[in-house]
Amino acid sequence: MSTDEQELQRWRDALAEQPTGWDFSTLTGFREEEPPWRWRTAVENLSQKADRVLDLGTGGGEVLASLADALPEGTVATEGWAPNLPIARERLVPLGIEVVEHDSEAPGARLPFEDDSFDLILSRHEAFAPADVARVLRPSGAFLTQQVGGDDLREVREAFGLGDPHADVTLESMVHDLVAAGLRVDRSHAFHGRYEFDDMSSLLGYLRRAPWDAPEDLDVDRHREALERLAAQMQDGPLIATVSRFVILARAPEAPDAGRVDFSALTGQDLEVPRV
């Protein structure tokens, strides 16, 4: 396939775009099949019993802002990608939501919060350390996460020869890690659907928002051969790629009842019961 200079320039323009946050709704020529669960409904239900909520990796704050009416006062969000921080703060601070800088993928990263700080912790497409989540979660508190599976968009990564760097990101492995951290998993579900990209501009616009699914140095001229292969697939219809998502609801153990005395160890002993 030989691409004319005018089309190549359109691809360059798409890569030069400066997206705000991770809002994919502005992309034309792009469709994403949604999982059967509803993140908004789950958050609204869980927030009713929460006095303090933490949202990990809020991005530009788009999703959390849409839920602001259901969230308690004192809700906090974290974000670790520098371009998103001012966007998230501009959107969320006026709603009474503090945005704290925190890079969850930095070596030795630890959430900048005290133990037992939150009744509900949310993580939508954000990496996290299960033991650290368990640390800041209050007794009986809930942890709700929706994750992007390691096989998400694999067809596009394969076109660039990127392999499968996140093969270990699966529902099974994350459930195992949460249980190992002392949490109880109440619900888990995986989903595979499809992306559709009508043209290269929509695909490149997506990759500008999700750069981890493309080469770090993605450039039209440098990667022209791979891009032309992808464009050739769109000549007979949309480019189809895999959507991979899973959701987990976990809970911290209940606090021990400090007001109750355990007499089980005394079974079989003669006890003197005082008269009153």
CB 78 within 8 A of CB 64: no
Nearest 5 degrees, angle CA 76-CA 81-CA 85? 50
Q: How far apart are CA 22 and CA 211, in angstroms?
A: 11
* Residue-by-residue DSSP string for 98-155: EEEE--TTSTT---SS-TT-EEEEEEES----HHHHHHHEEEEEEEEEEEE-TTTTHH
| pLDDT (tens digit per residue) in 216-250 | 999 999 999 999 999 999 999 999 999 999 999 99
| Beta carbons within 8 Å of 268's beta carbon, 6+ residues apart | none
Spell out the domains of the chain, with CATH numbers in brackets.
Answer: 5-254 (3.40.50.150)
pTM for this entry = 0.87
DSSP 3-state of 194 = strand
User: For position 233, what pLDDT does the model report?
Assistant: 94
| Beta carbons within 8 Å of 186's beta carbon, 6+ residues apart | 249, 250, 251
User: For position 165, what pLDDT does the model report?
Assistant: 76
Residue 206, CA distances (Å) to 24, 76, 154, 256, 266 in order: 7, 28, 14, 48, 65
| pLDDT (tens digit per residue) in 169-221 | 999 999 999 999 999 999 999 999 999 999 999 999 999 988 889 999 999 99
Q: How far apart are CA 136 and CA 247, in angstroms?
A: 20
User: For position 3, what pLDDT does the model report?
Assistant: 87
User: For position 264, what pLDDT does the model report?
Assistant: 44
Low-confidence ranges of the chain (pLDDT < 70): 1, 20-22, 257-276
